[in-house]
Structure 1
Amino acid sequence: MDANNLLAKPWLPGVELFHADFSGQAFGRHSHDAFAIGAIVQGVGGYQCRGQRYALPAGTLSLMNPEEPHTGHAESERVIYRMLYVEESRLPTLLGRKRLPEGFRELNPADDGQVAIRLAHLADAFERSDALGLESELLGLLEQVFVRHGGLREARPACRDSGVTASLRDYLEAHYAEAVSLERLAALVQRHPRHLIEAFRRAYGVPPHTYLLQRRVREAKRKLLQGQVLADVALELGFYDQAHFNGVFRRFTGVTPGRFRTLARG
C-alpha cells in the first residue's frame, strides 16, 4: 500500500522532506522549483531524465536541479525513498554564502552513503527534534552535498572565537530545557549559524545541539535520582516525547532512563 508523507515546518520556509513508499505508482514528466536531494532506502527506483533511463538501487544518491524535467517509477515491486527539496532562493541564507552553488552535474554520483544516513537523521529530526536539532542536521547535509556534488567551495575552518563560544555555552547552560533555535543563537552572537556551529565544535568537541542534549541528560539523571516520574522529567526537559527521551538518554549513557534509575538504586 502506498504511503507518502511530506514533512515541513512553518518556521523553515522553502524546505520540505518527502518520504515515499509506493509500488505501482508512476510519475509523469514533471519538474520541481527546488533542488532535490534524495536517496533510495529500499527497492529499486527509476526515472528518465536528460534523454537517459536510470535505475537506482537501495543506497543510491539521487540529485536534481530546479526546473529539470524528469519522470519517476518503481523498478522493483516496492520502493522507499527520501527526498529533500530546498528552494534555490533559500540557499544563500542556509549556506551562508553570497554565491549560489553551480548546480548538480551528475544526477546519480558515486557516494559513500553518508548523504543517505544524513537524510535519515534529518527525517528523524523533522519528527522528533526541536529547531536547533533540525536546523543543525539540515545545514550539515546541505554543506556536504553542495561541496561534494554542486561545485561549492569548502568553507574555511572557523577561527577560534572564545568570546562567541563561551557566550553560546553560557546561554545553553541557562536555557537547556527550552526550545532553542539556531536563529536565536546566531542573533545572540551575530554570526551565521554555520560559523557558530563550527566554532562551537572546535571549542568543545561537539556542536551546540549535542551539547544541549548532553546537558539535558545530565539534568535528567539528577531528577531521576530524586525519584521524579519519567514522563514528567521528559516533559520538563523539553524532549519531544517519552520515546525521544529514552533514545537520547540511551545514546549518551548506554541505558534507558528506567534502567538507569533501577541500577542507581542498587
Structure 2
Amino acid sequence: MGRGSVRAREGTARRRAREDGPRIEHWRPEGMEGLRVFRVEDMTGPLSSYSEYYGVVSILQGACDGWCRGAVHTVAAGGLKLKEPGEVHRHVRVHAPVTLQGAAFTADVVEEAARTLGVPRPVHFVPVEPGRAPRAAALATAMHAALAARGPVTRELEALVIETLTEVLATCTERGEVRVHERAPRAVRRAREYLRAHVSEPVTLDALAAHAGADKFHLIRAFRAELGIPPYEYLTHLRVARAAELLATGMTGAAAAHAVGLFDESQLHRHFRRILGVTPGRFARTMHRQHRPSGARGSGLACPA
C-alpha cells in the first residue's frame, strides 16, 4: 500500500477523533479516600467545566487560554491550573491540542490539610502564572504521572500526593486577611448557594434575586463578573456535574436527567456534550470500565504535621 493511502487513513483517523471529541476519563485510585482523577486527551476545541472539588490540574501537552475568576490566563505544557468548589472554568482558545490530567480533592481533605499548615480557610487559590511556584508544578506533574499508571496505591504514591497538596497550599493560596467569601459579592454568594441547594428544582430569576437580596438586573451582571457566566448557565453546569456523578453509579441517562431537573435524556445529552465534550453514554461506559469497587479500606489522606 502506498504512502498516500497511509496518509489518507491517518487523516481520516484524525478527523474521526475530532468529530468524536477529546478522550475523557475518570477514575478513583483504590485505597485513597477523598481523591478522584480525570484526564482529557487531545482537546482541540474550547470546553468548560464545573468543579465540585478542589482541583490540581497539570497541563501535559499543548497550550490554551482559559477564563476563570474574571480574567483569561494562558497555560501550556508543564503549567498548573487550580480549581475551587463552585467554580466554572472555560477554555476560550486552544493554541495546540491539549492533554491534561487533574486530581480532584474533596473539601474536607483540603480544609483539614490547610488547618494543619496554618493556611487561611476557606482555601482560596491564586492564579499560577508561568514561572510561579515551579516546585508545585513539578510535583503535580510527577504525581499525575504516577496516578496515570493506575497501579496499586503504594506508600510512595500516597506520600507524593500529600507532598503535592502541601506544596500547592503553601505556595499557591491567598494568605492575606481577605477570604474568598468576603471577596465575592454577598448577593452572588447567596445566589450560588441557592442554586446548589435547588439543583433539581425549577428556579425562577425573581426567586433567585429575592433570596440573594438584589434586583435581578444587578444580580445577573454581578454573577457574570464573578463567575464568567449568568446564573442559568451556572445551574446547567451544576446539573451536568451532578448527572455525571449519578451516571458513574450506574443510573440511566433518563433517570439522571430527571434527578437533576432536566426535561429529558436528549436535553442531558445536548448539555453534557456541549459542556464536557463527551456524551453521557460514553462517559458512563468509561466509568463502568475503570471503576472497580473494592472492599478494601482506604488509607485516607492526611497532611503531615
How do 1:187-226 residues align onto structure 2 when only pairs under 5 Å count? 194-195=304-305
Question: Partner of 1:141: helix, strand, or coil?
Answer: helix
Tell me the equivalent position of 2:39.
19
Residue of structure 2 equivalent to 1:132: 155
The residue type paired with residue 21 of structure 1 is E
1:65-214 to 2 correspondence within 5 Å?
A: 65-72=84-91, 75-93=94-112, 97=116, 101-102=120-121, 103-109=123-129, 110-126=131-147, 127-151=150-174, 183=299, 194-195=304-305
Q: Secondary structure at the match of 2:132?
A: coil
Checking the alignment, whether the CA contact within 8 Å between 2:43 and 2:98 is kept in structure 1 is yes
Of 10, 19, 32, which residue of structure 1 is paired with 2:51? 32
Which one-letter code corresponds to 2:54 in the other structure? F
| Residues 124, 49 of structure 1: alpha-carbon distance in 2 compared, 3 angstrom cutoff | closer
C-alpha distance 96-10 of structure 1, shift in aligned 2 (>3 A) = farther
Structure 1 gap segments, 5+ residues each: 154-180, 187-191, 196-266
Compared CA separation, residues 101 and 14, structure 1 to 2 (3 A): farther
Task: Supply the distance in 1 between the matched residues of 2:55 and 2:29 (Cα, whole angstroms).
Answer: 17
Shift of 1:144: 0.5
Judge conservation of contact 2:126–2:174 (CA < 8 Å) in 1: no
Corresponding residue SS for 1:194: coil
TM-score (norm 2): 0.45
Q: Name the CA shift for 1:138/1:37 in 2 (closer, same or farther; >3 Å).
A: same
CA RMSD, 1 decimal: 3.3
Structure 1 residue 106, shift from structure 2 partner:
2.1
User: Cα offset for 1:142?
Assistant: 0.7
Aligned to 2:26: 6
Q: Distance in 2 between matches of 1:8 and 1:134?
A: 14
Q: Which amino acid aligns with 1:147?
A: A
For the residue of structure 2 that corresponds to 1:128, the secondary structure is coil
Q: 1:53: Cα distance to partner?
A: 2.1
Deviation at residue 21 of structure 1 after TM alignment: 1.3
Percent identical pairs in the alignment equals 14
Distance (whole Å) between structure 1 residues aligned to residue 299 and residue 175 of structure 2? 23
1:128/1:113 CA distance change after superposition, 3 Å = farther
4 and 130 in structure 1: CA distance in 2 versus 1, 3 angstrom threshold: same
Amino acid at match of 1:36: G
**AA in 2 matched with 1:135:** E
Shift of the alpha carbon at 1:41? 1.8
**Contact 2:33–2:298 at 8 Å: present in 1 too?**
no
Task: Report if the CA contact (8 A) 1:92-1:99 is conserved.
Answer: no
Q: How many residues align?
A: 161
Q: Is the 8 A contact 2:133 2:172 kept in 1?
A: no
Pairwise CA distance, 1:8: 1.6
Alpha-carbon offset, residue 98 of structure 1: 8.6
